[in-house]
Amino acid sequence: MKNVVALAGRVALIIVTCCGLVSCQNEQKPATSSTAASKPVPPTPSKRQQLLNMEVRALYITSWTAGINRFQTLTDMVSRSHLNAVVIDIKDSTGKVGYDSTVPLVAQTGAYEKRIRNLDAILKQCRDKKIYTIARIAVFQDPNLAKARPDLAVGGGGQKVWKDRKGLAWVDPASKTVWDYNLAIAKEAAAKGFDEIQFDYVRFPTDGKLKTMTYPVYKRDVPKHEIIRRFFQYVDQQMKPVDVMTSADIFGLTTMVDDDMNIGQRIQDVADYVDFVCPMIYPSHYPPGHLGLEKPAEHPYRVIYDACLRGAKRLEGKRAKMRPWLQDFKLGAAYDKKMIIDQIQAARDAKVFGFSMWNARNVYTEAAYLEKLPEPNPVPPLRDQVLEDIRRHDAARLAMQNRSTSIRQEKPSIHKPRRKAKGN
C-alpha cells in the first residue's frame, strides 16, 4: 500500500512539473497570429506628416534662373551649406507660368513662357541632393490674366484695367475663377513632386490710385480681410487631399499691427489654413523710427528678433508655424556675411521654424551659409524686453476695446424725448 501511495505521489509531482514547464513555454512564446492581428498597425506617415517637423532653410530662385546652368551652381552651394531647401517661382508677379503647364487656362491666356526647360529634371536633381523644394505662386498680382480676361481684372473706371505704380495689373481677390486657376497650378506642381506650395501676393493692391479701383466680383459688403480668409479656407479644402505642405507669404507688419492695413492681410486669418506663414521681415523695409532706430536696416538682429518673437506669439494655438523671409540684398545698408548671420541668429533665438533668404537677382553671400548654423541662444538678451512690449500692447488694445464697448452701450438715443402734455 505504501508503494502505491509513493508511486502516486511521484506521478503527481511529475504532472505538476510538466504543467509548470508548459506554462513557462507558453509565456515565452510570441503572440499568436490572432493576437497580433488584433493590435492596430499604425498607418504609414504621409509625405506631409514626415516633412512637417523639418526646419526649412531656403534660398529663393526665379524661374529664369531655374532654367539655366546657374541653377546647378546654386543647388551645389545649398548642398555644401547649412541650407536645405529652394523656393522656385513657377508663376511669378508678371502672371507668367515658367514651365510647360497642362492647366487649360494657362494655354487659353498665353501665360506659359519657356523659362524652366525641364521641370521634372530639376526636381529630380533636387531630390538626388536631398533638397526640399517649394513652388512659389503669385496669385492676385497677375497682369497676364488681367489682360487676357479683363472680366476678372481690377478695373480703373470705364473699360480700363487698373494698374499700380509699377504699371502692373491685378485680378479680383474675390473671384472664384481666379482661385481655381491658381489652385489648378498648385495641384499640378504638387503632382510633379514639389514638397510645398507657397502662395504669394494674396492681398488687395497697396499702391496707385486706389480710389479709382472697381471690382467685377468683390462688392465691398464684407471687410477685405474676410475675402482673404475665405481664400485660404478654400485653399485648405482643395489642398487637403494632396500630400503636400502649404505656406503663405505675408507682409512683415502683420506680426505687429492689429488691422489689415487695407490690403486684407492679417496673420490670424491665414494661420489656421496653411502649414507655414512667411512674413517678409526685411530690415530695410521698416521706416526710420521703427523700434526707436534711426536706420532699422543697420540693426538686423534687433529688427528680426522683434518681428519673429511677435509673430510667434500671435501664432500660439494656431496650426501654422512661422518661417520668415530674411534679407540678402543691399538696401538701407551693405549686407555682408555678419549681417546675414545676425538675422539667422535672431530667427533661431526666437525659435521660429526655419527661414528663407531673398535676393531678387539670386546673387547670394555664399560665405554666410558655409559657416556653421548658429545655435539658438538659450537666454536671448532681448526676450524680456520684447515680451513686455507685447504685454503692454495687448493690454492697451484690450482696454481700448472695452472702452469702445462701454461707449456704445452708454451712448444716449439720438431721438429727442417726447414732451409731456401740459396739464389743463
State the helix-helix crossing angle for 70-80 and 119-128, rounded to 10 degrees.
20
Q: Band of the pLDDT at 102, cuts 50, 70, 90?
A: very high
* pLDDT at residue 405, rounded to an integer: 66
* pLDDT at residue 409, rounded to an integer: 64
β partners of residue 326: 357
In this structure, the chain runs to a length of 424
344-383 residue pLDDT tens: 999 999 999 999 999 999 999 999 999 999 999 999 988 8
- In the chain, the amino acid numbered 178 is V
From residue 111, alpha-carbon distances to 97, 162, 250 in Å are 6, 19, 24
* pLDDT over threshold 70, residue 124: yes
Query: CA angle, 226 as apex, 225 and 230 as ends, to 5°?
Result: 120
Q: Which percentage of the chain shows pLDDT scores above 70? A: 85
* pLDDT over threshold 80, residue 60: yes
* pLDDT at residue 395, rounded to an integer: 85
196-251 residue pLDDT tens: 999 999 999 988 888 889 999 999 999 999 999 999 999 999 999 998 999 999 99
Segments making up each domain of the chain, as ranges:
47-376
* pLDDT at residue 423, rounded to an integer: 45
Least confident range of 72-81, 187-196, 229-238, 382-391 = 382-391
State the Cα–Cα distance between residues 22 and 115, nearest whole angstrom: 74
Contact 59, 356 (CB under 8 A): yes
288-323 residue pLDDT tens: 999 999 999 999 999 999 999 999 999 999 999 999
Whole-model pTM?
0.84
* pLDDT at residue 99, rounded to an integer: 98
- In the chain, the amino acid numbered 372 is K
173-190 residue pLDDT tens: 999 999 999 999 999 999
Q: Which residues contact 42 (CB under 8 A, 6 or more apart)?
A: none
Task: Classify domain 47-376 at the CATH class level.
Answer: alpha beta
From residue 335, alpha-carbon distances to 233, 271, 327, 343 in Å are 38, 31, 8, 11
Neighbours of 246 (CB within 10 A): 22
